[in-house]
Amino acid sequence: MRVAVIGAGVAGLVCAYRLGQEGHAVDVYERWPGLGGQAATIDVGGGHLLERYYHHLFTSDRHIAELYAELGMPEELEWRPSSMAFFLEGRSWPFTSPLHLLRFGPLTPAARIRMGLAVLKLQKTAKEVGPYEGITARQWIRDAMGAEPYEKVWGPLLRGKFGDRADDISMAWLWGKLTMRRKLEGKEARQELLGYPGRSWEPLFHVLKAKIETRGGRVLIDRPAARLTQRADGFEVTAGAPGSFRTGHDPHAYTPDGEPERYDAIVATVPNDVFVGLLDDELAAAIGDDYRAKLDGIEYHTALCLLLELDRQFSPFYWTNIADPELPFVGLVEHTNFVEPERYDGRRFLYVANYLAPGDELLELDADALIDRYTPGLRKVNPAFDRSWIRERWLHREPAAQPIVTVGYRERIPPLQTGVPHLILANTTQIYPEDRGTNYAVRLGGEAAEALLSRRLNNVWSETGS
Ligand SMILES: Cc1cc2nc3c(=O)[nH]c(=O)nc-3n(C[C@H](O)[C@H](O)[C@H](O)COP(=O)(O)OP(=O)(O)OC[C@H]3O[C@@H](n4cnc5c(N)ncnc54)[C@H](O)[C@@H]3O)c2cc1C
C-alpha cells in the first residue's frame, strides 16, 4: 500500500516505521519544521537541544524503552533521581519520599497518614480501572483521604491541570497516575528515578526517520496536510505551502501547494479538530455522525510553556507543583536540577508550566508580557528572583496538549477505525486510562499500524499483546 501518515510526532513516526517494516511505502506529512510533535526540541544555542515542553520518562514507560532497545540505542536513556516539591502556604515543601509526606506541614498529621494510606491501598489493591470510571477524582479523594487533602493538595493540582473542569475529572485518570507510575513501596520508595535521553528526544526521531527512508518512505517536514479527499481508488492528500505553520493549526488556513498525491490509506495522528478540518465534504459525511460527535465531544486544554535560561539555579527541586491558587502558573520544572548543568556548559534552564482553557487571556501574551505577569509569582517561590537572571526565553503553546478526561470518558473515545476503510485516526484522546505521554504514543503508533493492516504485528507491545 501507499500510505500517508499525517503528523511526525512520536505516534506518526512509529506508525510509519512499523508500516515500512511491513513493506508499505509511507509518506509522513508534518506541519512543523521539525520532528517530534509535542516532544520536539529547539536549538538553545551552543550545540544544545532541549524539548519545547519539559519531558522525562517514568520507569514504567516500557514501550518507549523497548523501542530504544529495538533501534539499537538503549544507552541513550539515562535514569536519574528526581526531586519534587509542593509550593503552598508561602513555601516549597519537599515531596520526594514518604518521609516528606509525614513532615508535610500544610496537612494535619492525621490527614497526612490518611492520605499516604489511601494511596498505598489504591496501589496495592486497585488492579482494574473499572470501579474508578464512574466517579470523579474529587469524590474519591474526599471519601478516601478526607476534605483537607483535597482542598490543600489535590484540588489545586487538578485545577492547575484542568482549570474549571477539575471537579469533573474522572478518578480513572488519577488511578492511572497513582497506580501505573511510581510505587510507594520497593526500591523506588525513597527516591523516584526518572528517565531522560542524554542527547534529548531528537536522536530517536532521526533514527526513526532514517529507518522510514531506508524502506523507501519520505518524511516531509514543514509540509502540512491541508486537505484529505476521497477518490474511487483511495485518497488524495493536498499539501500546504512551506511556512504554513505560521498561520496556526487550522488546515483551512494553509495555501495548497503542488499537485495532490494519491494514497491507498491514511493514518492521521493530529488532534480531533485538526482531523475534522482536513476532511473534504465527502469524507466528513462518510465518517458518520456518531464518530463526528465523539471527535467534537472531547475538550482539550492548551499548554502554555515558558522556557527560561537563567544565570543561576532557581530552586533545589526538579519539579515544583504550585498548589497556591494565587500564582498564575501551575508548575516549575527546573531541567538542570535533573540533568546536570555541565551537560549544557554550565547553563541553567527552567520551564514555567501552565495548562489553560482555550480563550484564556494568558494565551494572548508574548514572552515578555508573560514574564511580567509571572514575575511576582516567581518571587513568591524564590524571593531573591530578579528579571536580570533571565538570559534567554522561549514561549510555546500547544492547543491540544491535554484531553479533559471526565467521568465516562471511555465511552467517548473515538476508535482508531474511523468507519471509512483505510482511514485511521490515532491521537492522544485515545490514550486511556493512562495519562498521555511519549511512551503511550509509541504504543499508539504501533496500534495504528495494526488497525490499518487489521492484524497483529511483531514488536507492537499492546497491553493486550506480548
Ligand atoms: C507541556 C507538555 C509536557 C509533556 N511532558 C511529557 C513528559 O514529561 N513525558 C512524556 O512522555 N510525555 C510528555 N508530554 C506528552 C507527549 O509529548 C505527547 O503525549 C506525545 O508526544 C504525543 O505524541 P503524538 O504523536 O500522539 O502527538 P503529537 O506530538 O501532537 O503529534 C502530532 C503531530 O501532527 C502535526 N500536525 C498537526 N497538524 C498537521 C497537519 N495539518 N499536517 C501535518 N501534520 C500536522 C503536529 O505538528 C505534530 O507534530 C508532554 C506534553 C506537553 C504538551
> Does residue 249 have a pLDDT over 80?
yes
In percent, how much of the chain has pLDDT > 90? 90
Query: Which atom number of ligand 1 is nearest to the Cα of residue 244?
Result: 41
Rounded Cα–Cα distance for residues 163 and 186 (Å):
34
The answer, yes or no, to whether any atom of ligand 1 lies below 6 A from the CB of 304, is no
Q: What is the pLDDT of residues 292-315, one digit of tens each?
A: 999 999 999 999 999 999 999 999
Q: List, in sequence order, the alpha helices (H) in 181-264.
A: 202-214
Centre of ligand 1 from the C-alpha of residue 32, in Å: 11
- What's the pLDDT at 40? 98
The answer, yes or no, to whether any atom of ligand 1 lies below 6 A from the CB of 401, is yes
Which residue's alpha carbon is at the smallest distance from atom 10 of ligand 1? 437
- What's the pLDDT at 97? 86
Q: What is the mean pLDDT of residues 188-209?
A: 91
Rounded Cα–Cα distance for residues 413 and 405 (Å):
10
User: HSE on the CB side for 299, CA within 13 Å?
Assistant: 16
- What's the pLDDT at 183? 56
Rounded Cα–Cα distance for residues 115 and 201 (Å):
35
Which residue's alpha carbon is at the smallest distance from atom 19 of ligand 1? 437
Rounded Cα–Cα distance for residues 7 and 14 (Å):
11
Q: What is the pLDDT of residues 346-356, one digit of tens each?
A: 999 999 999 99
The answer, yes or no, to whether any atom of ligand 1 lies below 6 A from the CB of 302, is no
Rounded Cα–Cα distance for residues 342 and 340 (Å):
5
Which residue's alpha carbon is at the smallest distance from atom 48 of ligand 1? 37
Residue 314: alpha-carbon gap to chain centroid: 25
Rounded Cα–Cα distance for residues 412 and 172 (Å):
14
Centre of ligand 1 from the C-alpha of residue 9, in Å: 6
> Does residue 462 have a pLDDT over 80?
no
> Does residue 184 have a pLDDT over 60?
no
The closest of 143, 162, 141 to 152, measured between CA atoms, is 141
Q: What is the pLDDT of residues 252-271, one digit of tens each?
A: 999 999 999 999 999 999 99
Sign of the dihedral through C-alpha 429, 430, 435, 441: negative
- What's the pLDDT at 299? 96
Task: Give the mutation target among 252, 267, 275, 438 for probing the ligand 1 site: most ligand atoms within 8 A of CB.
Answer: 438
- What's the pLDDT at 135? 96
The answer, yes or no, to whether any atom of ligand 1 lies below 6 A from the CB of 41, is no
Query: Can you say whether residue 274 is alpha, beta or left, with left for phi > 0 and alpha for psi between -120 and 50 degrees?
Result: alpha
- What's the pLDDT at 465? 38
Average pLDDT, the chain: 94
- All 3 cell numbers of residue 109? 498529621
- All 3 cell numbers of residue 129? 480501572
CA distances from residue 232 to 236, 264, 267 in whole angstroms, order as listed:
10, 10, 18
- What's the pLDDT at 466? 34
Query: Which atom number of ligand 1 is nearest to the Cα of residue 401?
Result: 53
Amino acid (one-letter) located at 200: S
Rounded Cα–Cα distance for residues 144 and 141 (Å):
5
3-state secondary structure of 466: coil
The answer, yes or no, to whether any atom of ligand 1 lies below 6 A from the CB of 446, is no
Rounded Cα–Cα distance for residues 322 and 331 (Å):
5
Which one is predicted more confidently, 460 or 76? 76
Q: Which residue has the cell 459525511?
A: 285
Written as one string, the DSSP assignment of 135-173 is SBHHHHHHHHH-HHHIIIIIHHHHHHHHGGGGGGBBHHH
Q: What is the mean pLDDT of residues 428-439?
A: 95
pTM above 0.85, yes or no: yes
DSSP-derived letter for residue 36 is: B
- pLDDT grade for 182, boundaries at 50, 70 and 90: low
In percent, how much of the chain has pLDDT > 70? 97
Q: What is the pLDDT of residues 143-171, one digit of tens each?
A: 999 999 999 999 988 988 898 899 999 99
The answer, yes or no, to whether any atom of ligand 1 lies below 6 A from the CB of 56, is yes
Written as one string, the DSSP assignment of 39-93 is G-EEEEETTEEEESS---EETT-HHHHHHHHHTT-GGGEEEEE--EEEEETTEEE
> Does residue 134 have a pLDDT over 60?
yes
Which residue's alpha carbon is at the smallest distance from atom 1 of ligand 1? 53
- What's the pLDDT at 464? 42
Q: What is the mean pLDDT of residues 223-228?
A: 98
The answer, yes or no, to whether any atom of ligand 1 lies below 6 A from the CB of 225, is yes
Rounded Cα–Cα distance for residues 428 and 401 (Å):
8
User: HSE on the CB side for 384, CA within 13 Å?
Assistant: 7
> Does residue 377 have a pLDDT over 60?
yes
